């Protein structure tokens, strides 16, 4: 009997999706947690009719950044068709879950829930949901146009620190509550015509459920609306944001909740089994924490469109910088998160300008230049940075004097060293410290680049590990789908995924790294203060060149 059960479990699949900034991805694992299928749809190249760049539209004020919601819907049509064509047997999928870029919002039009309930399998989701959204262009995490709403919310909550104590973060422009307040003020008709507001994660779950999916506690902590202790919407924040918001958002639920069976649409169109369960979707960073099976003491560095640094924490200590989110895998725990907007896209710009557009040449430049880059230090904020709030490009030589340019090789190392010095500096401000045994777990698109990871290891003076797949958010979603089925019987997440392969050591720090970067970090902190004085937050509303030395400056 036991053997039969084990065989059934092993022949069963679990599916994870990730709606990230630039693409929609999927991973399928079997009961032994082995990856059996991977697939993806790139928004810019495979859905060119939506005319996005890097998956987004940057508006004329350079502050507002949105993505067309129907592009995400169509991406699901395309991805599921690709998976079917590749021969994936959907009838083996016992549960699915997913993740989405954090903070983005989807506004469902009045009547959309009826449409969701009656999806006809002969038509694509894109055809069926054409008229289901009251706001076509969804605000996304890169948006920084809601400064006024942030100030209002902070005042209503009793100040920035008080807001951070309630919701885990002071007010941030990209956080969903402030975006909702802005839509309510700037598009009142559309807002009145809205019956439900989802996060990107709960929107994607709703597509599979054929009905509105709850926002989970972990992604819900990125809204400036959820009380992270009581795990309920905060009345004071709801009231300061928009009318009837509790009704529009629905009740938030634990991240491991089984929301229900998959809609009959997927049974008839793709051959899913009727009993396939949909487990609550969450944010991409929380899903990455699950995919890497992060443990206390580890630090995760995700190198996707954004760079993020996150830690598992037991006791939340909200501050004016960084975010505390509810853990996606343990109701009692939390995660601390820092987000840096100038991540992969800035590396791509420097690769194009200094390395002929080739990652190989970019990597060779890192190999051919010494640790510490002859004392040169660079800050590259192509768009208004989140951590810290600054814009512009600043280069300093070993005497701390500002210079206008460097050789291409020095520029490449200055960018990567500068990015990782900043990640370490701000992680340390958050309370993170490198102790013997600390592991840095790397993920995201750029984690496939060994030379970039070597600089990360040197700057953090810690070994860097990665999992086979650079897309830990997708994998984590598949793990969470599996755990969702077991959570009700009290199985912990780490027990549910104990068979998963361990992260592999990729690089160790160079013996001289500590000496070089401990000293450089102090200089970097001093220079960052200098840069912040030159790049005041008022630049948010009036983008101007922050430095006479700016070579390429794309204001927010
Ligand atoms: N070999 C490489 N070296 C450095 N960066 C890379 C490499 N391959 C891909 N990337 C970066 O990975 C990014 C995409 O990462 P990914 O985690 O998939 O992003 P997202 O999930 O935000 O869509 C690309 O923008 C690209 O710059
Ligand atoms: O804003 C944040 C986290 O607070 C970003 O990390 C988004 O979640 C986007 O993620 P990627 O698409 O870069 O993975």
ipTM of the complex: 0.98
The CB of 176 under 6 Å from ligand 2? The reply is no
Query: Is residue 473 in a domain?
Result: no
Query: Is residue 63 in a domain?
Result: yes
Q: Using pLDDT thresholds of 50, 70 and 90, give the confidence band for residue 8.
A: low
The CB of 344 under 6 Å from ligand 1? The reply is yes
Specify burial of residue 113 (Cβ count, 10 A radius: 0-12, 13-18, 19+).
middle
Based on the structure, what is the number of domains in the chain? Answer: 1
193: number of Cβ within 10 Å: 16
The CB of 308 under 6 Å from ligand 2? The reply is yes
Q: Best substitution site from 21, 143, 171, 443 to test ligand 2's pocket, by max atoms within 8 Å of Cβ?
A: 21
Query: Is residue 293 in a domain?
Result: no
Mind listing the pLDDT tens digit for each residue in 232-287? 999 999 999 999 999 999 999 999 999 999 999 999 999 999 999 999 999 999 99
The CB of 20 under 6 Å from ligand 1? The reply is yes
Task: Name which residue sits closest to atom 15 of ligand 1, judged by CA.
Answer: 445
Q: Which atom of ligand 2 is nearest to the CA of 302?
A: 14
Q: Residue 343 Cα, ligand 2 centroid: separation in angstroms?
A: 10
Query: Is residue 506 in a domain?
Result: no
Query: Is residue 396 in a domain?
Result: no
Is residue 528 predicted with pLDDT exceeding 70?
Answer: yes
> Which ligand sits nearest to residue 359's alpha carbon?
1
The CB of 444 under 6 Å from ligand 1? The reply is yes
Q: Residue 306 Cα, ligand 2 centroid: separation in angstroms?
A: 5
Is residue 549 predicted with pLDDT exceeding 50?
Answer: no
* Torsion from C-alpha of 108, 111, 112, 114, nearest 10 degrees: 150
pLDDT score, position 488: 85
Query: Is residue 440 in a domain?
Result: no
| Mean per-residue pLDDT of the chain | 93
Q: Residue 404 Cα, ligand 1 centroid: separation in angstroms?
A: 28
pLDDT score, position 551: 29
- pLDDT (mean) for 90-115: 98
Taking the C-alpha atoms of residue 69 and residue 227, their distance in angstroms, rounded to an integer, is 28
Q: Using pLDDT thresholds of 50, 70 and 90, give the confidence band for residue 9.
A: low
Q: Residue 148 Cα, ligand 2 centroid: separation in angstroms?
A: 22
CA angle 75, 133, 251 (to 5 degrees): 95
CA angle 124, 194, 151 (to 5 degrees): 125
The CB of 20 under 6 Å from ligand 2? The reply is yes
Mind listing the pLDDT tens digit for each residue in 118-173? 999 999 999 999 999 999 999 999 999 999 999 999 999 999 999 999 999 999 99
Mind listing the pLDDT tens digit for each residue in 165-207? 999 999 999 999 999 999 999 999 999 999 999 999 999 999 9
Query: Is residue 205 in a domain?
Result: yes
Mind listing the pLDDT tens digit for each residue in 426-453? 999 888 887 888 899 999 999 999 999 9
Task: Name which residue sits closest to atom 6 of ligand 2, judged by CA.
Answer: 306
- pLDDT (mean) for 306-329: 94
Query: Is residue 261 in a domain?
Result: yes
Question: Whole-prediction pTM value?
Answer: 0.94
> Which ligand sits nearest to residue 449's alpha carbon?
1
Q: Residue 141 Cα, ligand 2 centroid: separation in angstroms?
A: 7
pLDDT score, position 469: 77
Q: Which of 3-17, 81-95, 125-139, 365-379 has the lowest mean pLDDT?
A: 3-17
The CB of 103 under 6 Å from ligand 2? The reply is yes
Specify burial of residue 182 (Cβ count, 10 A radius: 0-12, 13-18, 19+).
buried
> Which ligand sits nearest to residue 386's alpha carbon?
2
The CB of 23 under 6 Å from ligand 2? The reply is no
pLDDT score, position 536: 57
Q: Best substitution site from 173, 222, 339 to test ligand 2's pocket, by max atoms within 8 Å of Cβ?
A: 339
pLDDT score, position 537: 57
Contact 54, 44 (CB under 8 A): yes
The CB of 224 under 6 Å from ligand 2? The reply is no
Task: Provide the percentage of residues in the chain whose pLDDT is more than 70.
Answer: 94
364: number of Cβ within 10 Å: 15
In a 3-state reduction of DSSP, which class is residue 543?
Answer: coil
Q: Using pLDDT thresholds of 50, 70 and 90, give the confidence band for residue 539.
A: very low
Task: Name which residue sits closest to atom 13 of ligand 1, judged by CA.
Answer: 445
CATH code: domain of residue 138: 3.30.420.40
> Which ligand sits nearest to residue 451's alpha carbon?
1
Q: Which atom of ligand 2 is nearest to the CA of 22?
A: 12
- pLDDT (mean) for 77-85: 98
The CB of 359 under 6 Å from ligand 1? The reply is yes
Task: Quickly list H helices, 296-449.
Answer: 344-354, 359-368, 408-429
Q: Which atom of ligand 1 is nearest to the CA of 284?
A: 21
Taking the C-alpha atoms of residue 185 and residue 23, their distance in angstroms, rounded to an integer, is 30
Residues in the chain: 556
**Full 3-state SS string of 442-508:** EECHHHHCHHHHHHHHHHHCCCEEECCCCCHHHHHHHHHHHHHHHHCCCCCHHHHCCCCCCCEEEEC
Q: Residue 470 Cα, ligand 1 centroid: separation in angstroms?
A: 9
Q: Residue 262 Cα, ligand 1 centroid: separation in angstroms?
A: 31
Is residue 556 predicted with pLDDT exceeding 80?
Answer: no
Question: For residue 275, what are the domain limits?
Answer: 2-149+179-215+254-285
Q: Residue 304 Cα, ligand 1 centroid: separation in angstroms?
A: 5
Q: Residue 343 Cα, ligand 1 centroid: separation in angstroms?
A: 9
Q: Residue 22 Cα, ligand 1 centroid: separation in angstroms?
A: 9
């Amino acid at each position: 009997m036991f053997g039969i059960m084990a065989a059934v479990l092993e022949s069963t699949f679990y599916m994870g999706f990730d709606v990230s900034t630039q693409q929609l991805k999927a991973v399928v694992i079997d009961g032994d947690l082995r990856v059996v299928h991977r697939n993806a749809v790139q928004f810019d190249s495979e859905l060119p009719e939506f005319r996005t760049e890097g998956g987004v539209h940057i508006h004329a004020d350079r502050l507002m950044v949105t993505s067309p919601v129907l592009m995400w819907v169509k991406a699901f049509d395309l991805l599921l068709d690709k998976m079917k064509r590749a021969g994936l047997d959907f009838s083996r999928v016992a549960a699915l879950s997913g993740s989405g870029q954090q903070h983005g919002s989807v506004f469902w039009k009045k009547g959309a829930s009826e449409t969701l309930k009656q999806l006809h399998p002969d038509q694509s989701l894109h055809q069926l949901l054409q008229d289901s959204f009251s706001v076509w262009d969804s605000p996304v995490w890169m948006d920084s146009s809601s400064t006024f709403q942030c100030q209002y919310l902070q005042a209503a909550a009793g100040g920035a620190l008080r807001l951070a104590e309630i919701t885990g973060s002071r007010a941030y422009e990209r956080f969903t509550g402030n975006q909702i307040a802005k839509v309510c003020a700037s598009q009142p008709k559309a807002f009145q015509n809205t019956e439900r507001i989802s996060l990107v994660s709960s929107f994607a779950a709703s597509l599979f459920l054929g009905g509105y999916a709850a926002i989970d506690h972990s992604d819900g902590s990125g809204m400036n609306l959820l009380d992270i202790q009581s795990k309920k919407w905060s009345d004071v924040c709801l009231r300061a944001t928009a009318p009837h918001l509790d009704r529009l958002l629905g009740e938030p639920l634990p991240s491991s909740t089984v929301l229900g069976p998959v809609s009959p649409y997927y049974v008839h169109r793709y051959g899913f089994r009727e009993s396939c369960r949909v487990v609550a979707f969450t944010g991409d960073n929380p899903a990455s924490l699950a995919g890497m099976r992060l443990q206390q003491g580890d630090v995760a560095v995700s190198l996707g469109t954004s760079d993020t640094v996150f830690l598992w924490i037991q006791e939340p200590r909200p501050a004016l910088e960084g975010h505390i989110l509810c853990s996606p895998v343990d109701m009692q725990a939390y995660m601390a998160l820092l987000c840096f907007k100038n991540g992969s896209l800035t590396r791509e710009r420097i690769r194009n300008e200094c390395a002929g557009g080739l990652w190989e040449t970019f990597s060779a430049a890192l190999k051919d230049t010494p640790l510490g880059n002859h004392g040169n230090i660079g800050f590259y904020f192509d768009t208004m940075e989140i951590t810290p709030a600054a814009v512009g490009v600043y280069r300093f030589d070993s005497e701390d004097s500002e210079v206008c340019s460097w050789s291409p090789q020095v520029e490449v190392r200055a960018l990567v060293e500068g990015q990782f010095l900043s990640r370490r500096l701000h992680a340390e401000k958050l309370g993170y410290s490198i102790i013997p045994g600390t592991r840095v777990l790397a993920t995201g698109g750029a984690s496939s680049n060994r030379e970039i990871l070597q600089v990360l290891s040197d700057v953090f003076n810690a070994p860097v590990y990665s999992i086979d797949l650079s897309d830990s958010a997708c994998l984590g979603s598949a793990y969470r789908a599996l755990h969702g089925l077991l959570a009700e019987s009290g199985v912990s997440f780490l027990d549910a995924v104990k068979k998963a392969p361990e992260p592999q050591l990729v690089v160790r720090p160079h013996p001289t790294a500590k000496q070089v970067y401990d000293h450089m970090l102090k200089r970097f902190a001093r220079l960052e203060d200098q840069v912040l004085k030159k790049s005041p937050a008022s630049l948010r509303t009036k983008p101007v060149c922050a430095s006479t030395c700016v070579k390429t400056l794309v204001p927010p």
